[in-house]
Amino acid sequence: MNSTSAPRFAFVGLAVSDVAASVAFYRRLGVGFPEGVEGEPHVEGELPGGPLLVLDAEATIRSFHPSWQPPSRGTRSALAFHCGNPAQVDALYEELTGAGHHGELKPWDAFWGQRYAVVHDPDGNGVDLLAPLQGN
């Protein structure tokens, strides 16, 4: 690596309590884990699309999710998955909550022009589902 080139983003890592449950959850969101890795202590899956770094002011989060509080310990991060359209946000939310995962924020039309929802993975990490509203 050239000493003047910027570092490249490599991965998002999560500490999970049940690898198999987490692999199953994230496969539903399109993460490409190899077959047979469910019993391994470390697994890597290819994320669909390209990642973004998104920063949200706490006051902004509270404006649309009034009960939200910053974590008292741990991280202030969330994973987000871009869906093809608003209907897919609703369908994935229903699929994941129907499979027993906690729905933190039901799908809604956010003021920034996206259909938006939040579910928790098997370890309670926030996973945002989003799609542009029609015409945006």
The domain of 113 spans 19-132
**For residue 1, pLDDT beyond 60:** no
User: Does 36 reside within a domain?
Assistant: yes
Mean pLDDT of the 26-41 span: 94
* pTM, 2 dp: 0.79
> Could you report the per-residue pLDDT of 2-27, keeping only the tens digit for each?
557 876 777 888 889 999 999 999 99
Edge-first strand order for the sheet with 126-132 is: 79-82, 126-132, 114-120, 103-109
User: Does 2 reside within a domain?
Assistant: no
How many other CB atoms sit within 10 Å of the CB of residue 31?
Answer: 18
User: Does 8 reside within a domain?
Assistant: no
CATH of the domain at 75: 3.10.180.10
Lowest average pLDDT, out of 61-75, 81-95, 104-118, 122-136, goes to 61-75
The Cα–Cα gap between 85 and 111 comes to 16
**How many structural domains are present in the chain?**
1
Mean pLDDT of the 84-102 span: 96
